[in-house]
Amino acid sequence: GGFCWGVERAIEIADEVANTAANRAKGTVRTFGPLVHNHEALQGIEHKGVFSDMDVDTMGPDDFVVLRAHGIAPDVKKRIKESGARVYDGTCPDVGHIHATVRREMILGKANVVVVGDAGHAEVDGILGVAGEKGIAVGSPAECDKVAFPTDEPLCVVSQSTQEFENYEAIVNKLKERYPQVQGFNTICEATTSRQADLKKLIAECDAIVVIGARHSANTCRLAQIAEEAGKDTYLIENEGELDLEKMRKYHKVGITAGASTPPAAMHRAAEILRPLQPAA
């Protein structure tokens, strides 16, 4: 658990920019949207005078703007630069790779684009921003019916970095029924894959699973969904203060996992609270 490297990198960039701005004693430091889905981590950044702001119209030459790990649509990035603000790109390299894949397949392969992911999520919006009118987000195999590109044209399928492989694979297979020229690119990141694999081990060993992370974080919700679908009692909490100790007492062994923007300290604190209750822990 704990921060994935993409989030850690974005926080480090914001830290450096905050120090630079403080040294110049002028200008504001903004992140384009919340840097992480975690109140505790955000407070640490805000303490340094770094705040989330997505209003491009109010940005100007005195501003330092940090792009978060989720990435951003190219036209939005262009507008921020045109405002005169200094832009620092905290886009996770794994997400940057997805943007590059989409660009390459559209230019070289003349492909239309399906993004396996949650429509409206910042990362998906950024990827669709690269694809423009030639892109669509699909969240499940059932949603494949809404893909209406001509079936004789090439189709490139990429994934939001925090998806579950089984969902990505099922969508690619479903699209193959209608599109003979489907090319799938599994762009689920290593941090997500290993977190999900670790969770599956916990599911095999434990009676209940506690997932620590924000309720609006895609990768956190995905972890909770995997545990629930495996038939485990699953508790999604934002921090250890939300643990229901009475409920926890009835389990022999509880597994703890965390989303990509949950600080490692939050997991340790939850483990300390649960340890005395669990005979097997």
pLDDT interval class at 21 (50, 70, 90)? confident
pLDDT of residue 281: 45
- Give tens-digit pLDDT for 63-105: 999 999 999 999 999 999 999 999 999 999 999 999 999 999 9
Q: What percent of the chain has pLDDT over 90?
A: 81
Number of Cβ within a 10 Å radius of residue 6: 24
3-state helix/strand/coil string of 147-194:
CCCCCCCCEEEEECCCCCHHHHHHHHHHHHCCCCCEEECCCCCHHHHH
The better pLDDT of the pair 280, 273 is held by: 273
pLDDT in tens, 131-182: 999 999 999 999 999 999 999 999 999 999 999 999 999 999 999 999 999 9
DSSP 91-147: --HHHHHHHHHHHHHHHTS--EEEEES-TT-HHHHHHHHHHGGGEEEE-SGGGGGG-
Active-site residues: which are they? 123
Taking the C-alpha atoms of residue 237 and residue 240, their distance in angstroms, rounded to an integer, is 7
The residue assigned the tokens 């609270």 is 273
Query: Domains in the chain, start-ordered, CATH in brackets?
Result: 5-92 (3.40.50.11270), 94-184 (3.40.1010.20), 190-277 (3.40.1010.20)
Q: What integer pLDDT is reported at residue 80 of this predicted model?
A: 97
Query: What pLDDT is stored for residue 1 in this prediction?
Result: 67
Instruction: Quote the mean pLDDT of the chain.
Output: 93
Tokens coding 122: 């910042």
CA torsion, ordered 208, 262, 8, 77, to nearest 10 deg? 110
pLDDT in the model for residue 226: 94
CA distance 120 to 118: 6
